[in-house]
A and B are shown apart, each in its own frame.
Chain A
Amino acid sequence: MLRYAIRRLILAVPILLGVTLMTFVLMWVIPGDITQSFMDPKIGTIDPEVLRAVREQWGLDAPFLVQYGRYMGNLLRGDMGYTSFTNERVRDAIVSRLPATARLALAALVLSTCLGIGAGVFTALRRGSYLDTAGMIVTLFGVSVPTFWLGFVLMWWLAVWWALLPATGYGHGEWSYVVLPAVTLGLSYAGAMARLTRSAVLDVLDAEYVRTARAKGAGRRTVIARHILPNAMVPVLTVIGVNLGGLMAGSVVVESVFAWPGIGQLFVEAIQGRNLLLVQGCVLFFAMIFIVVNILVDLVYGFVDPRIRYD
């Protein structure tokens, strides 16, 4: 199993290389670089000569391959560069935003998993009933509704009208601040999770071992807890893992809407400011999260389903 994990990690290297190259190409294609922030019309004239000097000094005037080569050279030495004029390293900038992102992702994951699995099992066991249909319509809504829309609706309803929760920000770490973004983020994942759980449970419901369990007189609860759930959970587990990756990396919209000081917000600012090194850093981080989470999920399979072996 260890050998498997190592092999997977080695395979991740070309993926990461591809990611850096693609990000570099994309940032190269979009007009503007970081010196664009100098040209705010409010700040007055910046001499074009000065801009040229700054570009030269920062190596922004070099051809694409030279810039990319330099970046990769530094990266291999573990140096992701600096964010701006201060001494802040890209690595530190990302690490400092990690707790906020992790907090939001975990809260949303717990919420989406509990709601999703609960609703999925509940509706599957009542297949064909009105409750099942209603549940599926609600989950369809959860899957389809865009997070930014849901975010604003919740914000206006719970933060402005009812004044129950703070609308945006991180506060000083109070849990009340995490509720709105986590619910917004969690609900969109919960819908998909519920539908998946439902179909997984339905698959297992007709399995022979479930019928056998019932035939030998096991109680309804025992059948669900001992025979249905453990077997239905294998595909669900994959999705939880992938969701965690998605939540860590994909909360860009929700973080922006709720002014949540996580990596998503950092990423958006980096793109708008054409802060190439910071964009690279964020994308690399997102890619790493996905790779690591996927490897972990694969390894966990082995524990959940003893038939799966990695040799």
Chain B
Amino acid sequence: MDKGCPVWSDSEHLCGSTPRGLYLRRECREDAGVVKTVRPRYFSTLMAAAVLVAVAAGGPVTGAPEMPRLGGVYVKPNVYSEPLSMDPLFALGASTIMLQMNIFDGLVRVDPIRKSVVPDVAERWTHSPDAKTFTFYLRKGVRFHDGSEVTAADFKYQFERVANPANLSPHMARLAGVVGLKAFQEKRTAEITGIAVVDKYTLRITMEGSNLLLPYYLAGTWASAVPRRVVEERGKDFGVRPVGSGPFVLESWIRGQEIVLRKFPNYWRKDQWGNQLPYLERVVFRPIRDTTAVQAELEAGRIDSAWILGAAYDYSPEKAMRLLAEAGYPKGFGVKILTVDIPIQVAVVEAVAGYTTYIGFNFDLPGVPWRDKRVRQAVNHAIDRRAVVDVVLHGMAYPAVGGPLPLMFPEAQRASGYGYDPEKARKLLAEAGYPNGFSARILTRSSPHYVAMTEAVMGFLGAVGIRLQPEVLDTTAARAARDQDGKFELSLSALGGEGHPLIFLQRGFHSRFAGPAGNTTRYRNPTVDQLLDRAAAARDTNTMLRLVRDAERIVVDEAPWSSILHLKGVMVKQPYVRGLRPVAIDMDWQPLEEVWLAWEPTRR
């Protein structure tokens, strides 16, 4: 089996021989593309040591940048369940979103690196000084896959589709606050008056109150442009045969077997050198849900990348760490490139996690110890987060020492004062009237890293007298028990996936979201509500962020959560894969138009 020795890109540079010298590497020319590596076949069963060149945080290495190579088929596993429908009306489930991102375009999108809203079909937008009216200016010449042009009317059509109660879109409430929404939903008007098509390429959205975050809300795939004619012609079939304006066209979808996307040759985006995007000819998504099978396929070289540990992905940390240890993966930030001769050649892309894993206290229960703030603070002091991260998750996370906000937000506090202090925890418990602690049940999921984290937490809390009894349910059942029924005492959960700290705090702690909408602890604090409402209605960003910080300070002090850690997002990829981005929300939600293959892999 020959593996090429490539010319590496500026941020991913590697050439040289292995320290083990198990095979003959003839030469590695930086100018000549592929150089063969000759190796006796039987060595392929040996585990060879890693060759590692770590490049700090994407910093360039000498040499000209590698030009993207066009074409090629990129194969990745779909670790999620089959999409329910690809119609943006139902932007549900991780696999649906992953595909919709690449088939459809929105007005704006969230940049995975900068975590800010960036232009998509709308090349720019402005808002009135009171932040009530937003005007989006669309690019000209953006085409749908059927050749028709994307116009402002297509966005208005989709927004009204979503808002129409008859369509039962779960995103119905996303446009809350738009002028005329209620009248439209109650069928008093035929359109949403607050969404105006000024001309073919200008869309104006008017809100009842100031809402600086509107672009963040519009970044979801539910707000994609869809061609009205095709949607009406295909009806429910549009979910199986979607037409968008994104970089890829859905070529085929054989349920349970594969989903194939083909390059859309008239996609509007070009790269910095003026090349037409996307680079890839095809992308194949193979539904492989078993993580061991994903790993086997990766090591057999039959898939090109895999997200190995994320907040919503059940991958045992031991397994992940073994894979990474074999690959010589050191702790820390940044984009690293490494190859392991056999059996895997992997490179790792790592993202700062967009999630916070926390212990939530159920505030709806009467007469429980944790209604006393001191008890919640005691729990916060009792857990050694660093130890949980190092021992249980083998460094695959960051300890949540700074309160609830995920680290992807630059606004996140870096320290809150809840250091590991079991003495203080015992003292707080005694002050609250529980010198001998108390017993409680903790709801958790059955995935390996949740169970491991629960065990660790039980140990730490047991040491200060809080005796926890675990209730382990599968993910769906645990969520149902926690969200819909509210039948839990404490729960180990994760929250994340939002593009803005204010939206995160609203979801987690605003009383309006108490229950299934995100505030699963049912925490209610009028001061926090008011601060968050004022932040949401702020007319400038500085005021907004100041109010967000004020609200966060109260939340940290009141401790409705005991934040434990932020899981890292880590992608394992074959060395020829270029252009993967560290997407904090979900490493599998890659904008694939900029992904390319440095050389044609030999698939077995």
A interface residues (Cβ-Cβ under 8 A, vs B): 30-33, 35-51, 53-54, 57, 84-88, 93, 96-97, 100, 152, 155-156, 159-163, 166-170, 256-259, 261-262, 265-266, 269, 272-274
Contacts and interface: CB of A to CB of B under 8 A. Distances in A.
Nearest to B292: A152
Contacts of B257: 100, 169-170, 261
Given A44-B497, A87-B240, A159-B300, A261 B255 contact: yes
Contact of A272 (B92, B300, B476): B476
A87 B290 contact: no
A274 B93 CA distance: 13
Interface string B219-241: 01000000000000001110110
A36 B479 contact: yes
B485 interface: yes
A51 B516 contact: yes
Contacts of A167: 293, 296-297, 300, 302
A37 B479 CA distance: 10
Nearest to B343: A160
B91 interface: yes
B496 A41 contact: yes
B498 interface: yes
Contact of B290 (A48, A51, A259): A259
Interface of B: 1, 44-45, 81-82, 84-85, 87, 89-94, 97, 165, 168-173, 176, 220, 235-237, 239-240, 254-258, 286-290, 292-293, 296-297, 299-300, 302, 311-312, 343, 355, 473-481, 483-485, 494-498, 503, 506-507, 513, 515-518, 585-586, 604
Given A97-B256, A259-B286, A272-B474, 6 more contacts: A40-B92, A46-B173, A47-B176, A85-B85, A160-B299, A163-B604
Nearest to B515: A48
Contacts of B169: 50
B484 A256 contact: no
Nearest to B495: A41
12 contacts: A40-B93, A43-B220, A45-B513, A46-B170, A48-B516, A97-B256, A155-B296, A160-B299, A167-B297, A167-B300, A259-B289, A261-B257
A81 B84 CA distance: 15
B81 A161 contact: no
B302 A166 contact: yes
Centre residue among A43, A161, A266 by max chain B CB count within 10 A: A43
Nearest to B507: A45
Contacts of B168: 53-54, 57
Nearest to A273: B81
B226 to A, nearest CB: 15
Contact of A168 (B171, B293, B483, B515): B293
Given A39-B516, A168-B293, A161 B476 contact: no
A96 B254 CA distance: 9
Contact of A84 (B85, B89, B173): B85
Contact of A163 (B1, B87, B480, B498): B1
Contacts of B256: 97, 100, 170, 261-262, 265-266
Nearest to A255: B256
A43 B97 contact: yes
Q: Rank and list the top 3 A-B pairs by shortest CB-CB distance, nearest first.
A: A261-B256, A32-B480, A47-B173
A159 B518 CA distance: 43
A85 B604 contact: no
B196 to A, nearest CB: 25
Given A42-B497, A256-B289, A259-B286, A47 B172 contact: yes
A162 B254 CA distance: 29
Given A30-B477, A42-B585, A51-B170, A161 B343 contact: yes
Given A31-B473, A256-B290, A160 B300 contact: yes
A42 B85 CA distance: 17
A261 B257 CA distance: 5
B92 A86 contact: no
Contact of B479 (A32, A47, A86, A160): A32
Centre residue among B93, B290, B473 by max chain A CB count within 10 A: B290
A100 B173 CA distance: 41
B293 A155 contact: yes
A251 B481 CA distance: 30
Contacts of A31: 473, 476-478, 480-481, 484-485
